Amino acid sequence: MGKIFVEDIRCYAYHGCMDEEGVIGTNYSVNVVVSTDLSISAESDKLSDTVDYVSICKIVQDEMAIRSKLIEHVGKRILNSLMKHHPSIGTAKITLTKHKPPIHGDVSRVSVEMESSR
């Protein structure tokens, strides 16, 4: 087994409970870690024998484009999609960060970390 890390996938999206967040939007970043068998791709040197980083980024971007009130909801969709599209993934973990959330106080970001296993 091994792990693939795709870090700091940056997106501009419109998630949040307030109506204004659906209009104004804000910056988000997503880190993805997937556990999978890397021994085959390490020997073969073939993209088809591993989990394609481009596919991971596309899944994140596609799910981030669908508005939700809660980032937890977006995170669960990302995990479900990763597991659905890549059967070789044993475990997937994401950290989804909302930058400059519109909450009282001086807060630079809020994050959720979520994990899914087969």
Spell out the SS3 assignment of the chain: CEEEEEEEEEEEECCCCCHHHHHHCEEEEEEEEEEECCHHHHHHCCHHHCCCHHHHHHHHHHHHCCCCCCHHHHHHHHHHHHHHHCCCCCEEEEEEEEECCCCCCCCCEEEEEEEEEC
Q: What residue segments make up the domains of the chain, in order of their start?
A: 2-117
Has this prediction a pTM greater than 0.75? yes
CATH architecture of the domain with residue range 2-117: 2-Layer Sandwich (3.30)
- The whole-chain average pLDDT of the chain stands at 96
| pLDDT tens digits for range 64-86 | 999 999 999 999 999 999 999 99
